[in-house]
Structure 1
Amino acid sequence: MPYIDEALLDDPEELQRKDSRDTLRALASAGAQVREAATLAGEAGVDRLGSMDRPRSVLVAAIGGSSIVAEVLELLAEPGSPVPVQARRNLPLPGWVGPLDLVVAVSLSGRAPGPLAVAAEAARRGAMLLTVGADDSPLAEVCRRARGVHVGVGAGRTSSRTALWTLLTPVLLGADRLGLLDLPDAQLQAVADRLDERAEEMRPSSEAFVNPAKVLAVQLAETVPVVLGDGPLGGVAAARASSMLARTARIPAPFGELPDAASGIVATFDGPYTGLGGRRAGTYDDTRIRLGDIDTSGWEPHHFSEPEGELMERPRGPQGGRGRDIFADPYLDGPTLPQLGLLMLRDAPPEVPTRESAQAQALTDAVLETAREAGVRVMEVQAGVGAPLVRLADHVGMVDFAATYLAIGLGLDPSVSPHVADLRDRTR
């Protein structure tokens, strides 16, 4: 099981020393990113999109840490958008994309091969372009030649994982101008304010026992985590959590969205990482030991009361499995497997409950009850009230900070992965 240094999490100077590229500081700037990106988008002429004809469709090209931009736009536009929105990571560009369509390409550096190639092909076909990335980049040049709208990312943005709101805000503003979603200025300000509140609550100087992101990081370190969102909004946040845990904390974490992923995730409760084997309370172990097949020489007679050759069944623990022996010695008994953990990202309760929301809540509660009975460690994070984008900001802020604290607590630099660097060197 990984060891997380909880004392380190309460040492701001040590946190800063291990965080070589100021990941925590960059995450804390999320609210400022929203405000700056809105200003940059206005200066770049994003309002021009409002005077254009509504596109027949919108295609969003983004990869890596930027890919959540497409997922968020799909999430927010889907309920009321008059045109379809879909994601595309790389070529080939669908054959139907042409002058009547809008292609959005997002890359912090402006050099990511996938979005750059998609933007270039879209420009060749005469599609409308909205791009977000560095001003002095090939992506910006492609957009300007096609007379599209390019929004720069400002200075000091070094990682797409920590510059999410810099990349996302111009895309949402463009979608608002085109009538694909409704994003009033007041709502955007509420998003920035919520991100500021999260940054203050989860700041490095906040002690671990009152800092929810540090608490979650310690809990995650003690498990093999899977992440579930309790609906579409939670599903996007779960994808973000999985990405941040893998790329920042180096912890693989499968993710899913209810209701579709319920059976797939619950099936893991029967696996080797549940503390009790995943079977129901009151049952017996499927493993049956035939004493005649075991060399019992040297054992005390009172160890077995069954006659030789008969079957002995070992009863399970109170929750339906072998259980975790608190007296086990890892040096004599061997290491134990880490415990399965379920991180449930729950949306805020609806202001006006409906039959559908009640059914969704009942499914979430059933999954959590099943997890606890199977010996899974359950962690719940609930978004605060507000518009969908505000609630999403709640979840994103939590999982971003938690993954970063987890990385540092495990002795890892959240920004630098030697193996990722090796991969880049081998594929140049």
Structure 2
Amino acid sequence: MDERAEQVLDDADAIAAADPTGVLRALATAGAQVREATVRGAEAGVRGIGDGDRPRSVVVASLGGSALVADVLALLAGAGSPVPVAVRRGLPLPGWVGPLDMVVAVSLSGRARGPLALAAEAGRRGARLLTVGAPDSPLADVCARARGVHVPVQRPHEPGRTTGGTSSRTSLWSLLVPVLQAADSLGIIEVTDDLLASVADRLDDQAEACRPGSESFVNPAKVLALQLAGSVPVVLGDGLVTGVAAARAAAMLARTARTPAVHGSLPDDASEVVATFDGPFTAQSHDVFADPFLDAPRGPSLRLLMLREPPPVPEQDDQAAFEAAALADRVRGLAEDVGVAVSELAAEPGHPLERLAGLVAHTDFAAAYLAIALGLDPGLSPHVADLRDAR
């Protein structure tokens, strides 16, 4: 990345001008989103949605910028969940879904085809229904007809709106919190209001550290953005929590910074990631004798972005945690041996939801700053708009 990009990221006025839709401002409201959504969910009655009667299964429908909602619920429920948690992006609704099951459909606009169609089909089959999205939307109407519970989320620029942002990408926590509250009431996960308050505090801490007025050499998100600029990112999580964060980071890099990125998690994806270290995007693959004036310019190089759990502590963590850390260290060592650049983010200790929140906030801000450094609007992509218009 050239010096001009770093100068842009050190200029708060230039950042504001390059972010006309207010993506950074919206990301900074993440903590406030958690607090507001906690209240909205309670007012809508999600804490009593189960009435002590646990469903046979839960099907979550979310996609695009809200896809992480389903992934987080599945992560927190885990293999020990008392009921199966299934994730669907669109039709068909599984044939076994009926009155004993619950369907959760999430769409900020309330118009996304996949969640809307799944909610409508769930209503026809008599399944319990929880929806999260804009008030007075098709999704809200479907939920009302099915006598389900709808948690309203205001759209951007509506009167009284104080949190959220331009899209589901920047309104993640407004969409996620009611779903977690409902799952807690059903006994599927344990997410108390105290935990949500701690998550909000952690998101506030990240927003303060990553604020636009902070200089690039001390702002962790700006540092990461400048490292990722001009590279081919491979985002790798070292476990379950970091794996979900890696998927979110890759999606935000693609959608916000228009930088294609692949993601994976250990141990399953270790071989696939390590195999790229002797591919066409590593330092070793470039001719060290190439003349920069006579030969073709050097293309982008691979950069490994590792998302790590906190270091394991003896007598607190089990053997699996130490093995996972050792594998991640080995992958990093192999990357460095062949000249692959490595960036590493370690989660702060805490509940899995707190650890996830910190990593997501950090990489969300980095993706927005990367877009600005590249001269792109982090909020709007003309090609995405063309695709939406063509549907």
TM class by smaller structure: over 0.9
Asked whether the 8 Å contact 2:22–2:166 carries over to 1, the reply is no
Residue 47 (1) aligns with residue 11 (2)? no
What are the residue-to-residue correspondences of 1:10-89 with 2, within 5 Å?
10-89=10-89
Residue among 304, 308, 325 paired with 1:342: 304
d(CA) in 2 for partners of 1:122, 1:346: 38
Residue 404 (1) aligns with residue 368 (2)? yes
Aligned to 1:363: 327
> What displacement does 1:99 show?
0.3
Q: Which whole-Å deviations, capped at 9, do the CAs of 1:104-145 have from their partners, x for residues lacking one?
A: 000000000000000000000000001000011010111111
Residue 164 (1) aligns with residue 175 (2)? no
Aligned to 1:333: 295
> What displacement does 1:350 show?
4.0
Unaligned runs of 5+ in 2: 157-164
Unaligned runs of 5+ in 1: 278-321
d(CA) in 2 for partners of 1:246, 1:12: 24
What are the residue-to-residue correspondences of 1:26-425 with 2, within 5 Å?
26-156=26-156, 157-277=165-285, 324=288, 330-351=292-313, 352-425=316-389
d(CA) in 1 for partners of 2:287, 2:208: 40
Q: Which amino acid aligns with 2:214?
A: S
d(CA) in 1 for partners of 2:107, 2:293: 49
Q: Which whole-Å deviations, capped at 9, do the CAs of 1:59-84 have from their partners, x for residues lacking one?
A: 00011001110000000011542001
d(CA) in 2 for partners of 1:133, 1:414: 23
Aligned to 2:162: none
Q: Which amino acid aligns with 2:369?
A: Y
Asked whether the 8 Å contact 1:2–1:222 carries over to 2, the reply is no
Give the 3 Å change call, closer, same or farther, for CA 363–183 of structure 1 in structure 2: same
d(CA) in 1 for partners of 2:66, 2:224: 24
After TM superposition, the structure 1 stretch with the greater mean CA deviation from structure 2, 27-36 or 13-22, is 13-22
Asked whether the 8 Å contact 1:4–1:218 carries over to 2, the reply is no
After TM superposition, the structure 1 stretch with the greater mean CA deviation from structure 2, 403-412 or 215-224, is 215-224
Give the 3 Å change call, closer, same or farther, for CA 382–324 of structure 1 in structure 2: farther
Q: TM-score, normalised by structure 2?
A: 0.95
Give the 3 Å change call, closer, same or farther, for CA 256–2 of structure 1 in structure 2: farther
Q: Which amino acid aligns with 1:107?
A: S
SS in 1 for 2:310: coil
> What displacement does 1:147 show?
1.0
Asked whether the 8 Å contact 1:59–1:103 carries over to 2, the reply is yes
Runs of 4+ aligned structure 1 residues displaced above 3 Å come to 1-4, 322-325, 328-331
Asked whether the 8 Å contact 2:109–2:155 carries over to 1, the reply is no
Aligned to 2:160: none
SS in 2 for 1:56: coil
Asked whether the 8 Å contact 1:4–1:406 carries over to 2, the reply is no
Q: How many residues align?
A: 381
After TM superposition, the structure 1 stretch with the greater mean CA deviation from structure 2, 250-259 or 330-339, is 330-339
Whose helix proportion is higher, 1 or 2? 2
d(CA) in 1 for partners of 2:4, 2:77: 40
Asked whether the 8 Å contact 1:55–1:100 carries over to 2, the reply is yes
Q: Which amino acid aligns with 1:87?
A: V
SS in 2 for 1:5: helix
Asked whether the 8 Å contact 2:108–2:134 carries over to 1, the reply is yes
* Larger radius of gyration between Structure 1 and Structure 2: 1
> What displacement does 1:155 show?
4.8
d(CA) in 2 for partners of 1:48, 1:39: 14
Q: TM-score, normalised by structure 1?
A: 0.87
> What displacement does 1:184 show?
1.7
SS in 1 for 2:86: strand
After TM superposition, the structure 1 stretch with the greater mean CA deviation from structure 2, 90-99 or 42-51, is 42-51
SS in 2 for 1:51: coil
Asked whether the 8 Å contact 1:61–1:106 carries over to 2, the reply is yes
Aligned to 1:315: none
Asked whether the 8 Å contact 1:259–1:363 carries over to 2, the reply is yes
> What displacement does 1:349 show?
2.8
